[in-house]
Amino acid sequence: MNRRDLMTGMVVAGTTLLVTPEGSAAAEPSRAPGTPGHGKHAVAPLPFNPAKLKGLSEKLLRSHHENNYGGAVKNLNKVEEELARVTKDTPGFLVGGLKERELTFTNSMILHEAYFGNLGGDGKAGGSIQKLLAAAHGDFGRWEEHFRATGASLGGGSGWVILTYNFHSGQPQTYWSGNHTQALAHGHPLLVMDMYEHAYQMDYGAAAARYIDAFFQNVNWDVVNARLERAQKAAAALRG
Ligand SMILES: [Fe+2]
């Protein structure tokens, strides 16, 4: 098992999905990870030209990337610096608070990188993921209806919709998450849709359904297929 496979296989509640400035579809090579515990995580650049997406404005995308994703990365670094100072004498309520924030900001970083990483495409589904989802749901449109409905259920609130490769079942499954810390315990995100209002309010107000339409117009299905392929390899490695 090489390092990439090892990283991909060690997925708990999201984990190692990383993006590149180019957003290269099939490859989507990872940027070098930060050093956990030492506050060295870096903000990855947007993997697409934000002026070129359909129905999502450059202003919205840059604000989302800089303030929400970038804020999570910077806050994670600060939390890790504080955790490095924890000793056996640190009050439990301080340790617990920092550890909760560590998980929240870590998942926010990972999920935002996956989200931006699966945008910038033409929205035309294809490949192995389309076949798998069509087989599981009767047809691909039925899966999309389910994914969209899950997103709509979060409209006006906050959370994520994540098509995840479930290592327990060996199948992709759509999951709901009401915050950054409810991701599947043993899965690999394949397609991530941010349903926090900051992802669409600037362009669509409270009209979450219009944002979901725009999201699907920009999905990079080549990236989703590449993630599926890596997850399937990791699943094989995990089976030993
Ligand atoms: Fe977000």
Q: 158 CA distance to ligand 1 centroid (A)?
A: 9
Predicted pLDDT at 193: 98
CA of 215 to the centre of ligand 1 (A): 13
Torsion of CA 210, 43, 63, 16, to 10 degrees: 20
Which phi and psi (to 5°) does residue 33 adopt?
Answer: -70, 155
pLDDT value at residue 104: 97
Ligand 1 centroid–CA 196 distance in Å is: 6
What's the pLDDT score for residue 36?
A: 52
pLDDT of residue 240: 83
| Topology given in CATH for the domain delimited by 3-19+56-239 | minor pseudopilin epsh fold (3.55.40)
**Which residues sit in the known binding site for Mn(2+)?**
64, 112, 194, 198
Q: Name the pTM for this structure.
A: 0.86
Alpha helix (H) ranges present in 24-117? Answer: 58-63, 70-83, 92-117
Conformational region of residue 125, where left means phi above 0, alpha means psi within -120 to 50, and beta covers everything else: beta
Q: Where are the domains of the chain?
A: 3-19+56-239
Q: How far is the CA of 232 from the centre of ligand 1 (A)?
A: 27
Separation CA 234–CA 134 (nearest Å): 23
Q: Which residue ranges in the chain fall short of pLDDT 70?
A: 1-37
Are 175 and 164 a contacting pair, CB within 8 Å? yes
Q: At what angle do helices 127-137 and 221-239 cross, to 10 degrees?
A: 80
